[in-house]
Structure 1
Amino acid sequence: MTKALPERTLLPEHPDQLAEVRAFLDTRFGRSESATLASPDGELITLPAELLAGLRLVAIALAEGKAVTVAPLHTTLTTQEAAELLGMSRPTFVKLLDDGAIPYTRPGRHRRVRLADVLAYREYRRAERTLGLAELTKISEDLGLYDVDNYDENPGRQS
Protein backbone atom coordinates (compact mmCIF):
# COMPACT_ATOMS: atom_id res chain seq x y z
CA MET A 1 0.00 0.00 0.00
CA THR A 2 1.30 3.47 -0.90
CA LYS A 3 1.78 5.89 1.94
CA ALA A 4 -0.24 9.07 1.40
CA LEU A 5 1.78 12.24 1.17
CA PRO A 6 0.71 15.00 3.56
CA GLU A 7 -1.02 18.11 2.34
CA ARG A 8 0.97 21.28 2.93
CA THR A 9 -0.32 24.85 2.97
CA LEU A 10 2.26 27.53 2.25
CA LEU A 11 1.71 31.09 3.43
CA PRO A 12 3.43 34.15 1.95
CA GLU A 13 5.83 35.21 4.72
CA HIS A 14 8.62 36.92 2.74
CA PRO A 15 6.94 39.10 0.07
CA ASP A 16 10.16 40.79 -1.11
CA GLN A 17 11.98 37.50 -1.65
CA LEU A 18 8.91 35.95 -3.27
CA ALA A 19 8.61 38.82 -5.74
CA GLU A 20 12.31 38.42 -6.55
CA VAL A 21 11.94 34.66 -7.12
CA ARG A 22 8.87 35.21 -9.29
CA ALA A 23 10.67 37.79 -11.43
CA PHE A 24 13.70 35.50 -11.72
CA LEU A 25 11.58 32.54 -12.83
CA ASP A 26 9.64 34.69 -15.30
CA THR A 27 12.71 36.25 -16.92
CA ARG A 28 15.10 33.32 -16.84
CA PHE A 29 12.69 30.42 -17.33
CA GLY A 30 9.71 31.93 -19.17
CA ARG A 31 8.93 28.91 -21.31
CA SER A 32 12.00 26.84 -20.61
CA GLU A 33 11.58 23.10 -20.39
CA SER A 34 14.07 22.57 -17.56
CA ALA A 35 16.20 24.25 -14.92
CA THR A 36 19.01 23.16 -12.64
CA LEU A 37 18.77 23.10 -8.85
CA ALA A 38 21.96 23.40 -6.79
CA SER A 39 22.34 22.06 -3.25
CA PRO A 40 24.38 24.02 -0.64
CA ASP A 41 27.36 21.72 -1.30
CA GLY A 42 27.23 22.33 -5.06
CA GLU A 43 25.46 19.16 -6.21
CA LEU A 44 23.33 19.85 -9.31
CA ILE A 45 20.13 18.23 -10.50
CA THR A 46 17.95 19.06 -13.48
CA LEU A 47 14.30 19.81 -12.70
CA PRO A 48 11.79 18.28 -15.11
CA ALA A 49 9.41 20.65 -16.92
CA GLU A 50 6.38 19.73 -14.76
CA LEU A 51 8.24 20.52 -11.55
CA LEU A 52 9.49 23.82 -12.94
CA ALA A 53 5.96 24.73 -14.04
CA GLY A 54 4.64 23.92 -10.56
CA LEU A 55 7.38 25.99 -8.94
CA ARG A 56 6.48 28.95 -11.16
CA LEU A 57 2.78 28.67 -10.25
CA VAL A 58 3.58 28.52 -6.54
CA ALA A 59 5.94 31.50 -6.81
CA ILE A 60 3.32 33.56 -8.68
CA ALA A 61 0.58 32.84 -6.15
CA LEU A 62 2.77 33.46 -3.09
CA ALA A 63 4.17 36.68 -4.59
CA GLU A 64 0.56 37.87 -5.03
CA GLY A 65 -0.03 37.28 -1.31
CA LYS A 66 -2.10 34.12 -1.77
CA ALA A 67 -1.75 30.96 0.26
CA VAL A 68 -0.96 27.80 -1.69
CA THR A 69 -1.94 24.26 -0.83
CA VAL A 70 0.21 21.52 -2.30
CA ALA A 71 -1.41 18.12 -2.20
CA PRO A 72 -0.87 15.03 -4.31
CA LEU A 73 -3.66 13.93 -6.59
CA HIS A 74 -3.90 10.31 -7.58
CA THR A 75 -4.23 9.52 -11.24
CA THR A 76 -7.58 7.97 -10.40
CA LEU A 77 -10.12 9.83 -8.31
CA THR A 78 -13.20 8.95 -6.34
CA THR A 79 -16.44 10.58 -7.42
CA GLN A 80 -16.18 12.92 -4.41
CA GLU A 81 -12.63 14.01 -5.29
CA ALA A 82 -13.59 14.57 -8.93
CA ALA A 83 -16.72 16.52 -7.99
CA GLU A 84 -14.66 18.78 -5.71
CA LEU A 85 -12.12 19.34 -8.47
CA LEU A 86 -14.92 20.43 -10.81
CA GLY A 87 -16.66 22.50 -8.14
CA MET A 88 -19.91 20.57 -8.13
CA SER A 89 -21.80 18.20 -5.87
CA ARG A 90 -21.11 14.48 -5.98
CA PRO A 91 -24.69 13.65 -7.14
CA THR A 92 -24.30 16.10 -10.04
CA PHE A 93 -20.99 14.51 -10.95
CA VAL A 94 -22.47 11.00 -10.78
CA LYS A 95 -25.21 12.15 -13.17
CA LEU A 96 -22.48 13.24 -15.62
CA LEU A 97 -20.99 9.75 -15.37
CA ASP A 98 -24.39 8.13 -15.91
CA ASP A 99 -24.96 10.36 -18.95
CA GLY A 100 -21.64 9.22 -20.44
CA ALA A 101 -19.98 12.65 -20.28
CA ILE A 102 -16.91 11.24 -18.51
CA PRO A 103 -15.67 7.65 -18.72
CA TYR A 104 -15.25 5.70 -15.50
CA THR A 105 -14.43 2.27 -14.17
CA ARG A 106 -16.03 0.34 -11.38
CA PRO A 107 -13.35 -1.98 -9.96
CA GLY A 108 -15.59 -2.84 -7.00
CA ARG A 109 -18.67 -1.13 -5.66
CA HIS A 110 -17.36 2.38 -6.22
CA ARG A 111 -16.71 4.27 -9.41
CA ARG A 112 -13.28 5.63 -10.25
CA VAL A 113 -12.43 8.25 -12.84
CA ARG A 114 -9.10 9.11 -14.37
CA LEU A 115 -7.73 12.53 -13.44
CA ALA A 116 -6.89 13.14 -17.12
CA ASP A 117 -10.54 12.55 -18.10
CA VAL A 118 -11.81 14.95 -15.41
CA LEU A 119 -9.34 17.64 -16.49
CA ALA A 120 -10.28 17.13 -20.15
CA TYR A 121 -13.95 17.52 -19.25
CA ARG A 122 -13.16 20.71 -17.33
CA GLU A 123 -11.35 22.15 -20.37
CA TYR A 124 -14.22 21.11 -22.66
CA ARG A 125 -16.70 22.92 -20.38
CA ARG A 126 -14.51 26.05 -20.33
CA ALA A 127 -14.34 26.08 -24.11
CA GLU A 128 -18.10 25.52 -24.32
CA ARG A 129 -18.73 28.46 -21.94
CA THR A 130 -16.40 30.70 -23.95
CA LEU A 131 -18.27 29.88 -27.16
CA GLY A 132 -21.61 30.48 -25.46
CA LEU A 133 -20.49 33.86 -24.15
CA ALA A 134 -19.19 34.85 -27.58
CA GLU A 135 -22.53 33.88 -29.13
CA LEU A 136 -24.44 35.82 -26.47
CA THR A 137 -22.24 38.87 -27.07
CA LYS A 138 -22.86 38.66 -30.83
CA ILE A 139 -26.62 38.43 -30.32
CA SER A 140 -26.50 41.43 -27.97
CA GLU A 141 -24.47 43.41 -30.49
CA ASP A 142 -26.88 42.48 -33.30
CA LEU A 143 -29.77 43.72 -31.17
CA GLY A 144 -27.97 47.00 -30.55
CA LEU A 145 -27.58 46.42 -26.84
CA TYR A 146 -23.93 47.54 -27.01
CA ASP A 147 -24.59 50.83 -28.81
CA VAL A 148 -22.67 53.64 -27.15
CA ASP A 149 -25.61 56.07 -27.64
CA ASN A 150 -27.87 53.84 -25.54
CA TYR A 151 -25.43 53.72 -22.64
CA ASP A 152 -25.71 56.27 -19.85
CA GLU A 153 -22.36 56.44 -18.02
CA ASN A 154 -23.94 57.79 -14.83
CA PRO A 155 -27.40 56.25 -14.53
CA GLY A 156 -27.92 57.58 -10.99
CA ARG A 157 -26.94 61.14 -11.90
CA GLN A 158 -29.73 63.65 -12.19
CA SER A 159 -29.60 66.30 -14.92
Structure 2
Amino acid sequence: MSATIMSPEQILITEDIIREAQQTPVPRGSEISIQTNDGQIITLSKDLQHMLLQALKSVASSGEVTIGRIPEELTSTTAADILGVSRPTLMKWVREGEIDAFKVRSHTRFKRDEVFRLKNKRAEERRKAFQDLRSSTAENQEFFDD
Protein backbone atom coordinates (compact mmCIF):
# COMPACT_ATOMS: atom_id res chain seq x y z
CA MET A 1 0.00 0.00 0.00
CA SER A 2 1.28 3.51 -0.66
CA ALA A 3 1.25 6.61 1.52
CA THR A 4 -1.54 9.06 0.76
CA ILE A 5 -0.49 12.65 0.17
CA MET A 6 -2.94 14.77 2.15
CA SER A 7 -1.38 18.10 1.24
CA PRO A 8 2.08 19.20 0.13
CA GLU A 9 3.12 19.13 3.80
CA GLN A 10 1.30 16.04 5.11
CA ILE A 11 1.43 12.35 4.19
CA LEU A 12 -0.89 9.74 5.73
CA ILE A 13 1.09 6.79 7.04
CA THR A 14 -1.02 3.62 7.15
CA GLU A 15 -0.56 0.56 9.35
CA ASP A 16 0.69 -1.31 6.26
CA ILE A 17 3.43 1.28 5.74
CA ILE A 18 4.44 1.09 9.41
CA ARG A 19 4.61 -2.71 9.20
CA GLU A 20 6.66 -2.52 5.99
CA ALA A 21 9.05 -0.01 7.59
CA GLN A 22 9.46 -2.33 10.57
CA GLN A 23 10.20 -5.29 8.28
CA THR A 24 12.65 -3.43 6.05
CA PRO A 25 16.20 -4.40 6.98
CA VAL A 26 18.64 -1.51 6.88
CA PRO A 27 22.10 -2.99 7.47
CA ARG A 28 24.83 -0.71 8.78
CA GLY A 29 26.51 1.10 5.90
CA SER A 30 23.40 0.97 3.69
CA GLU A 31 22.98 3.69 1.09
CA ILE A 32 19.90 5.19 -0.52
CA SER A 33 19.73 6.11 -4.19
CA ILE A 34 16.99 6.92 -6.67
CA GLN A 35 16.44 4.85 -9.79
CA THR A 36 14.68 6.63 -12.64
CA ASN A 37 12.22 4.92 -15.00
CA ASP A 38 14.99 4.46 -17.56
CA GLY A 39 17.28 2.78 -15.00
CA GLN A 40 19.58 5.71 -14.26
CA ILE A 41 20.85 5.69 -10.66
CA ILE A 42 20.96 9.03 -8.86
CA THR A 43 23.21 9.04 -5.81
CA LEU A 44 22.02 11.09 -2.84
CA SER A 45 24.33 13.01 -0.53
CA LYS A 46 25.25 11.41 2.80
CA ASP A 47 23.24 14.06 4.67
CA LEU A 48 20.12 13.44 2.58
CA GLN A 49 20.51 9.67 2.97
CA HIS A 50 20.88 10.08 6.73
CA MET A 51 17.70 12.19 6.91
CA LEU A 52 15.68 9.63 4.91
CA LEU A 53 17.01 6.69 6.94
CA GLN A 54 16.15 8.51 10.17
CA ALA A 55 12.62 9.13 8.82
CA LEU A 56 12.27 5.41 8.02
CA LYS A 57 13.54 4.51 11.49
CA SER A 58 11.04 6.90 13.08
CA VAL A 59 8.12 5.46 11.10
CA ALA A 60 9.20 1.94 12.08
CA SER A 61 9.52 2.77 15.78
CA SER A 62 6.64 5.17 16.43
CA GLY A 63 4.52 5.14 13.29
CA GLU A 64 5.12 8.81 12.64
CA VAL A 65 7.75 11.25 11.51
CA THR A 66 8.04 15.01 11.52
CA ILE A 67 10.54 16.71 9.26
CA GLY A 68 11.21 20.37 9.68
CA ARG A 69 13.97 22.89 9.52
CA ILE A 70 15.40 24.40 12.66
CA PRO A 71 15.18 28.21 12.50
CA GLU A 72 18.36 30.25 12.04
CA GLU A 73 17.85 31.98 15.40
CA LEU A 74 17.23 29.87 18.50
CA THR A 75 16.07 30.71 21.99
CA SER A 76 18.32 29.77 24.89
CA THR A 77 15.89 27.00 25.89
CA THR A 78 15.91 25.46 22.40
CA ALA A 79 19.70 25.78 22.09
CA ALA A 80 20.16 24.12 25.49
CA ASP A 81 17.83 21.27 24.46
CA ILE A 82 19.80 20.69 21.25
CA LEU A 83 23.07 20.66 23.19
CA GLY A 84 21.66 18.39 25.87
CA VAL A 85 22.51 20.77 28.72
CA SER A 86 20.57 22.96 31.11
CA ARG A 87 19.83 26.56 30.24
CA PRO A 88 22.04 27.81 33.14
CA THR A 89 24.95 25.74 31.79
CA LEU A 90 24.43 27.23 28.33
CA MET A 91 24.40 30.76 29.76
CA LYS A 92 27.62 29.96 31.67
CA TRP A 93 29.20 28.90 28.37
CA VAL A 94 28.15 32.25 26.88
CA ARG A 95 29.89 34.11 29.73
CA GLU A 96 33.00 31.92 29.28
CA GLY A 97 33.06 32.53 25.51
CA GLU A 98 32.42 28.88 24.63
CA ILE A 99 29.50 29.87 22.39
CA ASP A 100 28.44 33.16 20.82
CA ALA A 101 25.05 34.67 21.57
CA PHE A 102 23.24 37.91 20.81
CA LYS A 103 20.35 39.84 22.28
CA VAL A 104 16.94 40.53 20.79
CA ARG A 105 15.67 43.15 23.21
CA SER A 106 16.23 41.46 26.58
CA HIS A 107 16.23 37.89 25.21
CA THR A 108 19.37 35.88 24.48
CA ARG A 109 19.42 34.20 21.07
CA PHE A 110 21.80 31.81 19.33
CA LYS A 111 22.63 31.18 15.68
CA ARG A 112 21.64 27.66 14.63
CA ASP A 113 25.01 27.05 12.97
CA GLU A 114 26.84 28.13 16.13
CA VAL A 115 24.80 25.73 18.27
CA PHE A 116 25.48 22.81 15.92
CA ARG A 117 29.18 23.77 15.70
CA LEU A 118 29.42 23.43 19.47
CA LYS A 119 27.35 20.23 19.48
CA ASN A 120 29.69 18.65 16.92
CA LYS A 121 32.77 19.90 18.79
CA ARG A 122 31.54 18.39 22.06
CA ALA A 123 30.69 15.08 20.32
CA GLU A 124 34.20 14.94 18.85
CA GLU A 125 35.73 15.69 22.26
CA ARG A 126 33.69 12.85 23.79
CA ARG A 127 34.77 10.45 21.02
CA LYS A 128 38.42 11.39 21.54
CA ALA A 129 38.15 11.02 25.33
CA PHE A 130 36.57 7.59 24.90
CA GLN A 131 39.31 6.51 22.48
CA ASP A 132 41.96 7.78 24.91
CA LEU A 133 40.31 5.82 27.72
CA ARG A 134 40.24 2.67 25.61
CA SER A 135 43.91 3.13 24.67
CA SER A 136 44.84 3.71 28.31
CA THR A 137 42.91 0.64 29.38
CA ALA A 138 44.62 -1.48 26.71
CA GLU A 139 48.08 -0.16 27.66
CA ASN A 140 47.48 -0.87 31.35
CA GLN A 141 45.52 -4.10 31.04
CA GLU A 142 47.72 -5.88 33.60
CA PHE A 143 46.39 -3.55 36.31
CA PHE A 144 42.80 -4.55 35.49
CA ASP A 145 43.28 -8.33 35.43
CA ASP A 146 42.37 -10.25 38.57
Q: State TM-score, norm by structure 1.
A: 0.61
Identity %: 22
Equivalent residue in structure 2 for 1:79, among 56, 59, 76: 76
Q: State TM-score, norm by structure 2.
A: 0.65
Is the counterpart of residue 102 in structure 1 residue 99 in structure 2? yes
Structure 2: unaligned runs, 5 residues or longer: 1-9, 35-40
Task: Decide whether aligned partners of structure 1 residues 144 and 20 sit closer, same or farther in structure 2, where only a CA change above 3 A counts.
Answer: closer
User: Who is 2:124 aligned against?
Assistant: 127
| SS in structure 1 of the partner of residue 101 of structure 2 | coil
Decide whether the 8 Å contact of 1:78 with 1:111 is kept in 2.
yes
Decide whether the 8 Å contact of 1:22 with 1:60 is kept in 2.
no
C-alpha deviation, 1:27, in angstroms = 4.7
Task: Decide whether aligned partners of structure 1 residues 145 and 80 sit closer, same or farther in structure 2, where only a CA change above 3 A counts.
Answer: farther
- Please give the root-mean-square deviation of Cα atoms over the aligned residues, in Å: 3.6
- Residue-pair matches, total: 125
Deviation string, structure 1 residues 19-52 (Cα, Å, up to 9, x no partner): 58887x9453498238xxxxxxxxxxxxxx9777
User: Who is 2:18 aligned against?
Assistant: 15
C-alpha deviation, 1:57, in angstroms = 2.3
Give the structure, 1 or 2, with the largest relative contact order (CA under 8 Å, sep 6 or more): 1
C-alpha deviation, 1:133, in angstroms = 1.0
The structure with more radius of gyration = 1
